């Protein structure tokens, strides 16, 4: 049965893009699949995190998962650092992946910026850890936002190269060498808003690490803050078009219409059928009301959960134990295949 795996970094400022592009879809996948959802704290430290803040942020992402409707009993919710097999497999993958492959990753280029000599080695190797996160469960279905597509392709390349490099050993360990030991994971990026853009610049993705808080709607923003951010969102001065074709070349307008459609569970066509010809002064209040209506219940539930950190920690400990049981078995096979001796 195909497993679903995905993760969110506890880097603070969880936002509407994380919700529409990832967490909302995590919730939907639960109905028909076995799902493993991870708070990827080891990814977070690829850029500096204040230790006390990191602990709070790990609990906050967990609270967001639960508040959005992820069921930690029927599925698995845990944090990465509690299952050491992720880092263990990542090392093997560091030795399978090629420098040239990682050199092509656009996320590294964006996050390292101009001062590449000063970026952490972890930031460069980020995609090999991400491949390990998925493949240590031999998961194949990975719901992510569009920005993660390139990393998923790399995970497929790593799985394929591992299967080829160790072909004879895979067979000796009792696996079909034509199928390979690792399956090839698929990015699931379809959905209403696979790429939510910044409210300040419709050509840049909404991001936790954008220094401007006005660039994003945070899941922890109150009603007034949401209304103010939507009001201040950058737009052009034309009214909304009546057809989707009229949005081309209007990135800011397109973004707001896309967000509205995703929040309402409808299409951009349907939104423009209703708001075509309207000025932003009329559209923005409607968008703010809708965002508040969708986010307020999640926000309220997150606050309640954050008041009881011991409960959150217990959820993560239980999830880590169940995730670790799966990961340990896969890692035992990996050790055999690679040629490591092991005691158990």
Q: Of 191, 143, 112, which Cα lies nearest the Cα of 8?
A: 143
- Contact with ligand ATP (CB under 6 A) among 167, 195, 234, 268: 195
21 binds ligand ATP (CB under 6 A): yes
Q: Of 182, 86, 195, 111, which Cα lies nearest the Cα of 149?
A: 195
144 binds ligand ATP (CB under 6 A): yes
Measured distance CA(301)–CA(239) in Å, rounded: 37
- Contact with ligand ATP (CB under 6 A) among 3, 9, 156, 199: 9
Please say which residue, 23 or 272, places its beta carbon nearer to ligand ATP: 23
Q: Helix 309-338 to helix 85-96 angle, to the nearest 10 degrees?
A: 40
Sheet holding 3-8, edge to edge: 76-79, 34-39, 3-8, 141-143, 186-188
207 binds ligand ATP (CB under 6 A): yes
315 binds ligand ATP (CB under 6 A): no
Told to judge if 111 belongs to the known catalytic residues of this protein, a careful annotator would answer yes
149 binds ligand ATP (CB under 6 A): no
Told to judge if 1 belongs to the known catalytic residues of this protein, a careful annotator would answer no
- 104 phi and psi, to 5 degrees? -90, -5
241 binds ligand ATP (CB under 6 A): no
Measured distance CA(174)–CA(104) in Å, rounded: 35
DSSP string, 247-301: GTT-HHHHHHHHHHHHHHTS-HHHHHHHHTT--HHHHHHHHHHHHHHHHHHHHHH
- Contact with ligand ATP (CB under 6 A) among 72, 127, 145, 319: 145
218 binds ligand ATP (CB under 6 A): no
- Residue 115 marked in a binding site: no
187 binds ligand ATP (CB under 6 A): no
- Contact with ligand ATP (CB under 6 A) among 8, 68, 135, 253: 8
Q: How many CA atoms lie within 13 A of 291 on its CB side?
A: 32
Measured distance CA(79)–CA(316) in Å, rounded: 6
Q: Which of 24, 114, 208, 229 is catalytic?
A: 208
Told to judge if 284 belongs to the known catalytic residues of this protein, a careful annotator would answer no
- Contact with ligand ATP (CB under 6 A) among 96, 196, 256, 302: 196
Which SS3 state, helix, strand or coil, does residue 30 take?
coil
Please say which residue, 20 or 92, places its beta carbon nearer to ligand ATP: 20
Q: Cβ neighbours of residue 288 under 8 Å, at least 6 residues apart?
A: 226, 227, 230, 231
Span from 85-93, 200-208, 241-249, 275-283 in contact with ligand ATP (CB under 6 A): 200-208
206 binds ligand ATP (CB under 6 A): yes
Span from 80-88, 165-173, 174-182, 199-207 in contact with ligand ATP (CB under 6 A): 199-207
Please say which residue, 124 or 181, places its beta carbon nearer to ligand ATP: 124
18 binds ligand ATP (CB under 6 A): yes
Q: Which of 111, 161, 329, 335 is catalytic?
A: 111
Let me know if 111 is exposed, middle or buried by CB neighbors in 10 A (0-12, 13-18, 19+).
middle
Contact 79, 62 (CB under 8 A): yes
147 binds ligand ATP (CB under 6 A): yes
Which SS3 state, helix, strand or coil, does residue 157 take?
helix
Measured distance CA(307)–CA(145) in Å, rounded: 30
CB of 167 to ligand ATP, least distance (A): 32
Residues annotated within a binding site for ATP: 9-11, 17-18, 145-147, 196, 205-209
Binding site residues for L-tryptophan, as ranges? 133
Binding residues for ligand ATP, per CB under 6 A?
8-9, 11, 17-18, 21-22, 144-145, 147-148, 194-196, 205-209
- As annotated, the binding site includes 9-11, 17-18, 133, 145-147, 196, 205-209
Catalytic residue set:
111, 205, 208
């Amino acid at each position: 049965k195909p497993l679903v795996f995905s993760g969110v970094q506890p880097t603070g400022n969880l936002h509407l893009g994380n919700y529409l592009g990832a967490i909302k879809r995590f919730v939907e996948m639960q109905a028909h699949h076995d799902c493993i959802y991870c708070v990827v704290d080891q990814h977070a430290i690829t850029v500096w995190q204040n230790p006390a803040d990191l602990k709070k942020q790990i609990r906050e992402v967990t609270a967001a998962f639960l508040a959005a409707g992820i069921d930690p009993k029927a599925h698995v919710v845990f944090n990465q650092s509690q299952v050491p097999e992720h880092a263990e497999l990542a090392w093997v993958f560091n030795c399978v992946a090629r420098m040239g492959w990682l050199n092509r990753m656009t996320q590294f280029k964006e996050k390292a910026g101009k001062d590449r000599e000063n970026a952490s080695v972890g930031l460069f190797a980020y995609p090999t850890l991400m491949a390990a996160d998925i493949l240590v469960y031999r998961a194949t279905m990975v719901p992510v936002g569009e920005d993660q597509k390139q990393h998923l392709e790399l995970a497929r390349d790593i799985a394929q190269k591992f299967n080829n490099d160790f072909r004879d050993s895979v067979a000796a360990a009792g696996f079909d060498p034509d199928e390979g030991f690792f399956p090839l994971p698929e990015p699931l990026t379809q959905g209403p808003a696979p790429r939510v853009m910044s409210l300040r610049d419709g050509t840049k993705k909404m991001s936790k690490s954008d220094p401007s808080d006005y660039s994003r709607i945070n899941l922890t923003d109150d009603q007034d803050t949401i209304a103010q951010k939507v009001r201040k969102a950058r737009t052009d001065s034309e009214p909304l078009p009546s057809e989707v074709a009229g949005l081309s070349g209007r990135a800011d307008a397109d973004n707001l219409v896309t967000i509205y459609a995703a929040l309402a569970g409808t299409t951009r066509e349907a939104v423009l059928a209703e708001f075509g010809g309207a000025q932003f002064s009329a559209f923005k209040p409607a968008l703010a009301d809708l965002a508040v209506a969708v986010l307020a219940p999640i926000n309220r539930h997150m606050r309640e959960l954050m008041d009881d950190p011991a409960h959150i920690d217990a959820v993560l400990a239980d999830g880590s134990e169940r995730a670790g049981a799966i990961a340990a078995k896969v890692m035992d096979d990996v050790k055999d295949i690679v040629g490591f001796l092991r005691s158990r």
